[in-house]
Structure 1
Amino acid sequence: MSFTISALLLTGLIVCMLVRYKAVGVGAAIVVLLFGFYLARSPLAPSLDKVVTTVSDAVPDI
């Protein structure tokens, strides 16, 4: 049995947990959010998408 979870949901949960347990401040979380937003609009986005897809496809094989 397997299930899938989107990378957006997973990273969102990680950031929320870091903020909740005060490992990262709210200001740093906002900076991470803005960095991700601008990174997604950059020319580097398709390459990063391919890397994330390749890694997510390889993880179940481990």
Structure 2
Amino acid sequence: MILSISGVVLFGTIGFIFFRKDGLKPSHACVSILFGFYLASTTIAPTIRAGGEGLASLLGGMRF
């Protein structure tokens, strides 16, 4: 639950910054699409959420 809320805040903030700074470009649209999947409760959203959680755990497990 915390990761999905963090994902919504993260992708929402990044999308807003991209929109305000340069207009919405195709690469920025990908961030907006991810933001939409975190907000939506479609059948593919759990798969994308699981991928985000997997990426977060991968990045969380890295030691520098």
Give the TM-score normalised by the residue count of structure 1. 0.60
Q: CA deviation at 1:22?
A: 2.1
CA deviation after TM superposition for structure 1 residue 41, in Å: 2.6
Between the two structures, name the one with larger relative contact order (CA 8 Å, sep ≥ 6): 2
Under a length normalisation based on structure 2, what TM-score does the superposition of the two structures give? 0.58
Matching residue's letter, 1:61: G
Name 2:20's counterpart in structure 1.
20
> Gaps spanning 5+ residues in structure 1: where?
none
Q: Which runs of 4+ in 1 moved over 6 A?
A: none
Q: Tell me which amino acid in the other structure corresponds to 1:7.
A: G
What secondary structure does 1:21 align onto? helix
In the alignment, the residues of structure 2 paired with residue 54 and residue 18 of structure 1 have an alpha-carbon distance, to the nearest angstrom, of: 25
Give the % identical residues: 26
Which structure: larger Rg?
A: 1
CA-based RMSD of the aligned residues comes to 3.2
How far apart are the structure 1 equivalents of 2:59 and 2:23? 27
The structure with more helix, counted as a fraction of residues? 2
